[in-house]
Amino acid sequence: MNTLQWYVLKVVSKREEKIKANLQAELIKENLQYAVGEILIPYEKVYEVRAGKKHVKNRNLFPGYILLQADLTNDLFVQLLKNINGALGFLGVRGWGAASPPVPLSQAEVDRIIGKTSDVEPDLKLSTIFTVGEMIEIIDGPFAGFSGKVQEIFEEKKTITVVVKIFDERSTPVELSYTQVKKLF
């Protein structure tokens, strides 16, 4: 009987993609694809502003871990996992030689993780967080080159209100997108 359950595989950090590719190649080579359902590296999309432009990138939610839907009753598959360079064992179990079997994730945990990494996610996380009272520089739009102080933050609209001094005397509130400003350090 094929009993696929979700497990967390510990791997060398920053090499998750390479280890996943090696595992998939070995599964094909050894004809063990039936022992694995999915192999996931949970990412979330974040955007950051560099040189006035918005860049979207993927950030690994769990560095050093890969989610694996697999049948661990298959001894050939477990042996294959042990031979993958960079695979360190399962979460909750010390190394590969532990007497106790790894504990599978509950379906609720898997749903929560997969829900966080869904491509349908409308909100992008911001890699730079602004705070009220913080000094920022405007890098785009008609007020580019001006600096000011954050007065309000509108997280749902991804905008902030900045008080800008025009002609060194008149304070003017300006509503700007997160992508139009950068922090002054």
> What amino acid occupies position 70?
A
* Confidence band, pLDDT 50/70/90 cuts, at residue 151: very high
Domain boundaries, the chain: 5-125, 129-183
| CA gap 2, 36 in Å, rounded | 10
CATH 3.40.50.1980 fits 129-183, yes or no: no
How long is the chain? Answer: 185
100 touches 94 (CB < 8 A): no
CA distances from 59 to 42, 68, 106 (A): 9, 19, 24
What is the CATH number assigned to the segment(s) 5-125?
A: 3.30.70.940
pTM: 0.62
Q: Considering the chain, what percentage of its residues have pLDDT values greater than 70?
A: 89
For 168, the token pair is 């060194």
Proportion of the chain above pLDDT 90, given as a percent: 43
Span 49-104, pLDDT tens digits? 776 677 788 889 899 999 999 998 888 998 999 999 999 999 888 777 666 788 89
